Amino acid sequence: MLFHLKVRNSLLLMPLIVIVLFHIIICTEAESAQLNQSVLVVLVEFNDVTHTYSATSPEKSFFSDNTKSVSNFYNKISSGNFIINRATDDYPIQNNNNGIIGWINLEQNHPNCMNFSNTPCYQSLVTTAFQAIGPYIDLAKFDTNIDGIISRDELSVIFVIAGYELAAHDAESSITGPFVYAHQYVLDTPVILNGKQISNYALFGEKHDDHQATIGVIVHELGHLMLRLPDLYDITKTSKGAGPFDFILNP
């Protein structure tokens, strides 16, 4: 969402660029050790829009060892060198330390933020969501360099927002929302939890019209958040960018 690579006469180079980026970020450091990334999934609902799928459904999408999941995807494309770990948490409804907090009701109506350009709406939504998880996670555990700031490398937080995903919405569908637009970004004003600042996040809508959000959008936004990968779609909309099999192009 945040980074765009203009595509004109060098389309053949784009898959190579993706390979090189991933090699630089993952494979070179993996010569000495695996890279381990803590991920926290926060499930958010509202007074007027509650969840459709139980917490076990997104848990499988993110962390399952036996199905098509986000953790399996990154493990395979890195040849086992990039490992996604469940963040330790204290949420009491599921088993503690399963990397999932929620569903948490934010005690407000769904803000229907729609397009990513609606920055104030998303800043308010994510700030409130971060504040809501304060009782359920000790951010001090993740501050490995003890600088008081939780970086995306120390902990990647992604929010699943009850309702619909605008990026996957069929314009001919009768569904009218409410929507959020999947993206990765940073809060202008960090939230302070347990004395630690946190501001980096990603989010996406729980449903793609008539079904649960698929893992494509998740691996795409986590690619931005965890690995700082750029978007590789053509912002001029005159080509197919890096091609249909590139996850950082086609969520």
Structural domain count of the chain: 1
User: Up-side HSE of residue 84: CA atoms within 13 Å toward CB?
Assistant: 31
- What's the pLDDT score for residue 187? 98
Residue 192's DSSP bridge partners are: 197
**Whole-prediction pTM value?**
0.83
- pLDDT: which is higher, 168 or 110: 110
- Residue at 162 is within a domain: yes
Asked if 215 and 61 count as a contact pair (C-beta separation under 8 A), the reply is yes
- pLDDT: which is higher, 3 or 43: 43
* Own/partner pairs, 93-97, CB within 8 angstroms, 24+ separation: 93/55, 94/55, 94/56, 94/59
- What's the pLDDT score for residue 241? 59
- Residue at 7 is within a domain: no
pLDDT category, 176, cuts 50, 70, 90? confident
Distance between alpha carbon 210 and the CA centroid of its chain, in Å?
A: 21
- Residue at 176 is within a domain: yes
- Residue at 216 is within a domain: yes
Beta-sheet pairing, 35-45 with 156-165: parallel
- Residue at 40 is within a domain: yes
What percentage of the chain has pLDDT greater than the value 90?
A: 63
- 101-147 pLDDT, tens digit per residue, is 999 999 999 999 998 899 999 999 999 999 999 999 999 999 999 99
Average pLDDT, the chain: 84
- Residue at 130 is within a domain: yes
Q: Is the pLDDT of residue 228 over 80?
A: yes
CA–CA distance, 146 with 126 (Å, rounded to integer): 24
- What's the pLDDT score for residue 238? 73
Mean pLDDT of 78-100: 86
Identify the domain containing residue 39 by its residue range.
33-227
pLDDT winner (highest mean) among 116-125, 166-175, 238-247: 116-125
Asked if 1 and 116 count as a contact pair (C-beta separation under 8 A), the reply is yes
- Nearest alpha carbon to residue 221 among 192, 162, 191, 180: 180
What backbone torsions phi and psi does residue 13 show, to the nearest 5 degrees? Answer: -85, -15
- Residue at 192 is within a domain: yes
Mean pLDDT of 182-201: 97
